[in-house]
Amino acid sequence: MADPMFEPKQLQVADQGLEVLWKDGHRTLLTSRYLRGNCGCAQCVDELTHERVTGVEDVDVGVYLADSVEVGRYAVNLLFSDLHSTGIYPFEFLRKLCDCPECQVLRQSGAQA
């Protein structure tokens, strides 16, 4: 059985970015620019060195999330207004991107590696 901490109950494209309601009841809002700057595709992270090529500071402040498509039962593919669409965001990665105080405490305690 999957961990409800990493299972979305609902994913919704919102004005500010991606809203996720998790099965454990937690709610996360990830802004479009933050998501775009944390994309893990080969265009954004060098495949050989694993160094980030595109970060949040490289993304236009006006970028917005245009659409999302679930990938199987483990991830979501996001389309941004700058036409970037090659990133796949696993649900566990999305939860780990949450920077709310509750998730920060979980990370510090080692509960959310």
pLDDT, one tens digit per residue, over 77-90 is: 999 999 999 999 99
pTM for this entry = 0.89
Number of domains in the chain: 1
Q: Structural domain of residue 47, as residue ranges?
A: 4-109
Please give the C-alpha separations between residue 45 and each of 22, 50, 51, 92, 95, in angstroms, as whole numbers.
Answer: 27, 6, 6, 18, 20
CATH number at residue 62: 3.30.2020.30
pLDDT, one tens digit per residue, over 89-105 is: 999 999 999 988 888 88
| Residue 8 neighbours by CB distance under 10 Å | 20
Whether the CB-CB separation of 103 and 109 falls below 8 Å is answered with no
